[in-house]
Amino acid sequence: MKTPALLLSLLMLASAGMVSAQTTYRWVDERGQVHFSDQPPPASARQAEERRYSGSRADTVPSYTERKLTEDFPVTLYTADSCEDICVQARSLLDKRGISYTEIKLVTEEDLEKYRAIFGSPEEVPALTVGSQPFKGFGPESWNRLLDTAGYPRTLPPRN
C-alpha cells in the first residue's frame, strides 16, 4: 500500500511545479454592458475577447518594459472553433515567450468584419497582429521575427 501513496506524492510534487496559465474574458452582453470574468462568455456575447497570462509570471507585476511593449505593440491572436492543433501551437509559442495577448475567436459577424478590416478575405486562422503589423496563418519563424522586431524578449527575464 505504500507504493500508491508514494506515487500520489510524486504526482502532486510534479504538478506543483508545472507552469500555469490564467485566462480572463471580456465581452459585451445584449444590453451593451461590458463584463470581465475568468469564465468563458455566454454564446449570446458580442465582442468577446480572451486574454491569456502564462507561466509563473501570471501572478507577478509586469516590468515597465513589458507594460510599455503591451501598450505600444499589443499582441492579438485571431482564432476560430475550427482551428484546433495549429491554434494550440500558436498559443504555445506566445505562452512560451511569456507574452500577454488578447485572443479573439471569430464567432460573430462583428468579429469577422474586424478581422477582414485587418487581414482581408478569406479568413485564415490563426492570425496575429503585433501592434499594427498583421500576419495571416501560423509560421513560428515569422511570428518570432515579428515579436523580436517589436522588442519582445525571446525568453522570460527573471523578476525580482
Name 48's Cβ contacts closer than 8 Å, sequence gap at least 6.
Answer: 25, 26, 27, 41, 104, 105, 107, 108, 111
Write down the architecture of domain 30-150 according to CATH: 3-Layer(aba) Sandwich (3.40)
Domain assignments of the chain as residue spans, ordered by start = 30-150
Mean pLDDT of 83-93: 94
Residue 60 pLDDT > 80, yes or no?
Answer: no
The DSSP line for 120-140 is -SS--SSEEEETTEEEES--H
Q: Which of 26-35, 50-59, 98-107 has the lowest mean pLDDT?
A: 50-59
pLDDT over threshold 90, residue 88 = yes
User: Model-level pTM?
Assistant: 0.63
